[in-house]
A and B are shown apart, each in its own frame.
Chain A
Amino acid sequence: MDSFAVGVHDGSAFLVRFFVERFSRPFHLRELVKQCYEVGCKSLFLITLTGFITGIVFTKQSRPSLAAFGATSWLPSLITVALVRSLAPLITALICAGKVGSSIGAELGSMKVTEQIEAMEVSAINPFKYLVVTRTTATTLMVPALMLYCCLVGLAGSYLNVHANEAASLPAFLKSGFSTITFRDAFASVTKSVFFGFSIGLIACYKGFNASSGTQGVGRAANAAVVLAMFVVFIEEMLIVQVITWTKP
């Protein structure tokens, strides 16, 4: 319990420091762009694959229940609601936590144990700014973008299945799908993803930055980054959904 309290304290200090350093010069824009690219590249393939398959499978498996009520025409709107409101943000966040979280955790962890972070400090370069701020900002920007992309591929998968079975045209599919989705839904999902992305980046950086020495420390940092990030993503999902339902007009 003691170490938990220390962890919470250090973690909050890390969080506060992020906001202090985020808004002061230098901004390291080049590194930020590079990190955005890395985050996108690392997870794009997996998100495409998972999103697409989820779209197909979810459609397939929902069909019998709807067919029992003769309501297969509701498939598009059911799938769209499920994807936009919860599947896409969660899938994206979990994949990014796994792929991006582990790689940031391992990268910063090995920089820490091989004294590269100290090397930056003695060259009067602020490693927190150069490493943590850029990476966390990159995940905060990219996870929502990837989430929207995940929605698209998920819908594409679903459309293929609906088209094959119900011979729906694309405009009809989209019209029916988006009839139940409000701007509020999309906004809530983007907000959620912003929180997810931010947490994934910050947690991975925190774990990497505090890696204990040795190769073992690097592995442990990467692992802890993924586990904690996934845990926090679920907690946030729960809280944000609560807040959204409360504030529903």
Chain B
Amino acid sequence: MTAGAPPVISIRGLYKAFGDLEVLQGIDLDVHKAENVVVLGRSGSGKSVLIKLVVALLKPDYGEVVVLGQHVHQLKQKELDALRRRVGFSFQHSALYDSMNVSENLEFPLRMNTSGLSTGEVRDRIQQALEAVGLAQSHKQMPSELSGGQRKRIGIARTLILQPEIMLYDEPTAGLDPVTSGEINELIQQVREKFHTASIIITHDLTCARATGDRVAMLLDGQMLRVGSFDEVFDTQDPRITGFYKYNFTEHP
């Protein structure tokens, strides 16, 4: 983290409601270069909505999002596309293209966004991305034949293949066994070290939060209630926050 440099993601006063349901009520958050920020929050608190706002999949009611120096919600389609190429988005439920096999899933965004790559280069990039997520053998499998954890990892590989400057992970370890979760945590760290990627990591999994997060932000009642290091955030008596901690580390065998 470079002190003084402007943040790569800067969110100010973000509001978003769906009808009567006020999901986000004034979110402020900065993410700096090569920094991992973990966002914790209960189910339905609007974590996925938050990162969808960052890539303009949703429009906010108020507030602004500045990504890599650009006001996301004021961009023209062309400029937005150029920005989106620099941002990787790993979906909560993977969102693999189920009419394509694994390597076509990776090839598709690559081919559509880069011109003049030879077949060999494409193959190498796919191989690299698959190796990075530890699934080098599954080229020809269809998404329907993969387990949930494998799908998740292919989803991450598909975003890594464009070598993004920002990664947004939506629950990267949800539903994975502890060993695979550990590998994903390591992968997130490696991506940051190798490409100096800034990341927002959404999770319920405090092990993941502790392993990957430089900073942790707790999303509660539509606001970022506590932001700081892992220990700072959990150094409180607020039952809404200690509840998280207890479930993950003490009440669980």
List A residues at the B interface (Cβ < 8 Å): 26, 107, 110-111, 114-116, 118-119, 121-126
Do the beta carbons of B95 and A125 come within 8 Å of each other? no
Do the beta carbons of A124 and B98 come within 8 Å of each other? no
List B residues at the A interface (Cβ < 8 Å): 52, 55, 57, 81-82, 84-85, 87, 89, 91, 93, 95-99, 108-109, 112-113, 158, 162
User: How far is B81's CA from A26's CA once the two chains are assembled, in angstroms?
Assistant: 14
Pairs across A and B, CB under 8 Å, 18 listed: A110-B98, A114-B95, A115-B95, A116-B97, A118-B95, A119-B95, A119-B96, A119-B97, A122-B89, A123-B84, A123-B85, A123-B108, A123-B113, A124-B81, A124-B82, A124-B84, A125-B108, A125-B113
Do the beta carbons of B87 and A122 come within 8 Å of each other? yes
Contacts A122-B55, A123-B84, A124-B85 given: A115-B112 contact, CB under 8 Å? no
User: How far is B57's CA from A122's CA once the two chains are assembled, in angstroms?
Assistant: 8
User: How far is B96's CA from A119's CA once the two chains are assembled, in angstroms?
Assistant: 8
The smallest C-beta distance from A149 to any residue of chain B, in angstroms, reads 26
A-side contacts of B85, CB under 8 Å: 123-124
Do the beta carbons of A115 and B113 come within 8 Å of each other? no
User: How far is B108's CA from A138's CA once the two chains are assembled, in angstroms?
Assistant: 21
Do the beta carbons of B98 and A114 come within 8 Å of each other? yes
Do the beta carbons of B93 and A114 come within 8 Å of each other? yes
The smallest C-beta distance from A113 to any residue of chain B, in angstroms, reads 10
A-side contacts of B96, CB under 8 Å: 116, 119
A123-B158, A124-B81, A124-B82 known, 5 other contacts, Cβ within 8 Å: A114-B93, A119-B97, A122-B57, A123-B109, A124-B85
Do the beta carbons of A124 and B97 come within 8 Å of each other? no
Do the beta carbons of B162 and A123 come within 8 Å of each other? yes
User: How far is B85's CA from A124's CA once the two chains are assembled, in angstroms?
Assistant: 6
Name, among A111, A114, A115, A122, the residue most crowded by chain B CB atoms within 10 Å (CB to CB).
A122
B-side contacts of A115, CB under 8 Å: 91, 93, 95
Name, among A26, A115, A124, the residue most crowded by chain B CB atoms within 10 Å (CB to CB).
A124
Q: Looking across the interface, which residue of chain B has its beta carbon closest to that of A119?
A: B95
A-side contacts of B158, CB under 8 Å: 123
Do the beta carbons of A125 and B109 come within 8 Å of each other? yes
The smallest C-beta distance from A242 to any residue of chain B, in angstroms, reads 40
Do the beta carbons of B95 and A116 come within 8 Å of each other? yes
User: How far is B158's CA from A111's CA once the two chains are assembled, in angstroms?
Assistant: 17
Do the beta carbons of A123 and B93 come within 8 Å of each other? no
Do the beta carbons of A116 and B109 come within 8 Å of each other? no
Name, among A110, A116, A125, the residue most crowded by chain B CB atoms within 10 Å (CB to CB).
A116
Question: Closest 6 CB pairs between A and B?
Answer: A124-B81, A123-B109, A115-B95, A119-B95, A122-B89, A124-B84
Q: Looking across the interface, which residue of chain B has its beta carbon closest to that of A117?
A: B95
B-side contacts of A110, CB under 8 Å: 98
User: How far is B95's CA from A114's CA once the two chains are assembled, in angstroms?
Assistant: 6
Do the beta carbons of A124 and B91 come within 8 Å of each other? no
Q: Looking across the interface, which residue of chain A has its beta carbon closest to that of B100?
A: A116
A-side contacts of B55, CB under 8 Å: 122
Name, among B89, B95, B99, B158, the residue most crowded by chain A CB atoms within 10 Å (CB to CB).
B95
Q: Looking across the interface, which residue of chain A has its beta carbon closest to that of B52?
A: A118
Q: Looking across the interface, which residue of chain A has its beta carbon closest to that of B161?
A: A123
Do the beta carbons of A125 and B112 come within 8 Å of each other? yes
The smallest C-beta distance from B54 to any residue of chain A, in angstroms, reads 10
User: How far is B113's CA from A111's CA once the two chains are assembled, in angstroms?
Assistant: 21
B-side contacts of A124, CB under 8 Å: 81-82, 84-85, 109, 112-113
